[in-house]
Structures are given as C-alpha cells and as structure tokens.
A = this chain, B = another copy of it.
Amino acid sequence: MQLYSKHSKHLLAVDCIIFGYDLLEKDIKLLLIRRNFEPAKGKWSLAGGFVKKDESLDEAACRILCDLTGLKNIYMKQLYSYGDLERDPGARVISVAYSALIKIKDIDKDLAISNGAHWQSLNRLPKLIFDHSSMVERALKDLTVQARIKPVGFELLPSKFTLVQLLDLYSAIYRKQIDKRNFRKKILSMDILEKLDEKEKETSKKGAYYYRFIKSRYNKFIKNGFYFNLDVG
C-alpha cells in the first residue's frame, strides 16, 4: 500500500478494566494481572495486549478478555485512548482502554489463574503500572454515571437477584447509603423486574424474593421514550 506511506506507525494496545461484583463481600472488584514480561515484570497491571494487524479495536478487546477468562460475547465499552509519549517506558505505545462488567462466577477460574489474574477489591487496589490507575479511575467514573442512566448493574449480578442485593450493589457503586424504601419504590415503578416465586434464604430467616431483569421489556420501554434513571439519596 503506497498511500500514507510517509507517515509514522505506532504500537497500539488495548487495556481492559474488568469489573466484577462480590455478592458476599458487597464489594466491586477488578480483575488484575501480575505482568509476566518486561518492562515492569511482576507488577500489577490491567489485562492488556497489542492490537494485531487484522483485528479491530473492539475485536482486540474481546480477544484479550476471552483469552484471560474464557468469556465470549461480553459487551466491552471503549472508554478512552491514552497516547502520552512516556506512558510506557518500554516503547511508545498508544493504548485504548475498554471496560467490561462481568459476573465473577462466569469466568474460567483455572484459565484466569494460569494467566496470573486475580480479583482485587476496589477499596484496596495495589499500585498499577504505567497509567493504568488513571484508566481505572476513568472507568469507575464512567460506571457510576452509566449505572444511573442505564441498567448496567444487572450485568454484575447473577440473573436471579434479590432487591437487597441490587441495593447493596448500587450502594457499592455510588459509595453511599441508599434509602431502602425509596430505592425499592423507584426500581419497581420502572416495571422492568419480574418477581419470582423463589426466595433467597442464605442471608435471612424470612428470605428475600428473587427478581429477574426483563431486558425485552426494558427495550420496549426505551423505544417509547422511557429513560432509566436511578438517582437515589
């Protein structure tokens, strides 16, 4: 290809901020990697990799997630591209950050461990290499914004969940207490959850009813001008 041939070419990477939610600890976690190559070998980093000649950015992000966790068909959201000259001491690399929301139980644990991956609580993250901490910060900000205006929370929960679990998740995302009654009122009034007959009985004697997010109904409402909004507290 002759066109554009006088212009510089660049190394291009993708880094993935992979969020999970721990139901028991009521804690948002990130899937981090102990890096096994230079530079910064042995340090904590996001899951990442170089973009290949014949794959799009989105494809690269999905490949990296899948290689690490075995997960396919997960929506990966592009967040931002990091292009500072000195961001990677190994060479000039431009990195495109993607985020994913997954259910911790869905990953192939052995595969993840063999790749040096570990879940780390957001509240006590280790120092990360390069500019990966800024990437995390941006991803977190985006998550809090998105959680307000789109039903992304459900991607972090099992398909059956209780309203208490949903509230705890939102408390973890917003990092503040939320009024139980107002929260239930609000989420139920949207009419996008289905109450199941089954109860979750591990955490209480009374037990809490399970609910399911009905995506098809949500999509129908959206078409009719409905806006998801979970401003609380």
Contacts and interface: CB of A to CB of B under 8 A. Distances in A.
A53 B80 CA distance: 20
B53 A90 contact: no
A22 interface: no
A150 interface: no
A51 B85 contact: no
B1 A94 contact: no
- Majority DSSP secondary structure for residues of A touching B: loop
A12 interface: yes
Interface string A3-40: 11001111110000000000000000000000000110
A93 B51 CA distance: 12
Contacts of A228: none
B90 A4 contact: yes
Given A9-B11, A10-B9, A12-B12, A4 B50 contact: yes
B12 A93 contact: no
A84 B90 CA distance: 26
A24 to B, nearest CB: 33
Contacts of A12: 8-10, 12, 94
Interface stretch (A54-62, A102-110, A201-209): A54-62
A80 B78 CA distance: 8
A156 interface: no
A55 B4 CA distance: 18
Interface string A52-94: 1111111010000000000000000010111111000011111
9 contacts: A1-B91, A8-B12, A8-B51, A9-B11, A12-B12, A51-B83, A60-B83, A78-B80, A81-B96
Please list the 5 inter-chain residue pairs (A to B) with the smallest Cβ-Cβ separation, ordered nearest first.
Answer: A57-B83, A9-B9, A3-B90, A7-B50, A8-B53
